C-alpha cells in the first residue's frame, strides 16, 4: 500500500479516536503524515522494527515533540498520545498484511 493510502487510513483511525473522545486527536489530517513518517523511519533512530512496544514509545515521543509546545509538560496527555500511537500501530500492521 502506498504512503498516501497509509496516511489516509491512519487519518481515518485518528479521526475515530477523536470521535471516541481522545483530546490529542483533533487534527487527524495533520497528525497522520507525521505518524506514518515516524513509524516507517523508526529503524533510522535505532528502534528495532520487530519491537512493537519500542516503536509505539518512539512514535509517542515523536508526536509529543511535534504537537506539544513544551514536551516536558505533557503530563497525563502522554497516555492519550500513546493511545494514538497504538492505533497507528494497528493500522500499519494491518496494511503490512495486505
Task: Please write the tens of the pLDDT for every residue from 18-69.
Answer: 999 999 999 999 999 999 999 999 999 999 999 999 999 999 999 999 999 9
Position of cell 509546545?
69
Residues 6+ apart with CB under 8 A from 40: 3, 92
Q: From the centroid of its chain, how far is CA 91?
A: 10
Confidence of residue 1 (pLDDT cuts 50, 70, 90): low
Going 30 to 12 to 86 to 41, the CA torsion angle's sign is: negative
Q: Does the pLDDT at position 97 exceed 90?
A: no
* CA-closest candidate to residue 24, choices 72, 70, 77, 75: 77
- Per DSSP, the three-state class of 49 is coil
**Number of domains observed in the structure of the chain:** 1
> What does the pLDDT read at residue 98?
43
End-to-end CA distance of the chain: 8
Give the residue numbers spanning the domain of 51. 3-97
Q: Which three cell numbers stand for residue 24?
A: 490529542
Centre a 10 Å sphere on the Cβ of residue 48 and count the other Cβ atoms it contains.
11
- pTM of this prediction? 0.92
Amino acid at each position: 500500500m502506498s504512503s498516501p493510502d497509509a496516511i489516509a487510513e491512519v487519518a481515518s483511525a485518528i479521526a475515530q479516536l477523536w470521535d471516541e473522545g481522545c483530546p490529542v486527536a483533533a487534527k487527524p489530517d495533520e497528525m497522520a503524515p507525521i505518524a506514518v513518517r515516524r513509524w516507517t523511519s523508526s529503524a533510522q533512530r535505532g528502534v528495532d522494527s520487530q519491537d512493537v512496544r519500542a516503536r509505539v514509545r518512539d512514535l509517542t515521543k515523536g508526536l509529543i515533540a511535534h504537537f506539544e509546545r513544551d514536551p516536558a509538560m505533557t503530563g497525563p496527555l502522554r497516555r492519550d498520545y500513546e493511545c494514538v500511537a497504538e492505533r497507528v500501530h494497528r493500522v500499519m500492521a494491518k496494511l503490512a498484511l495486505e
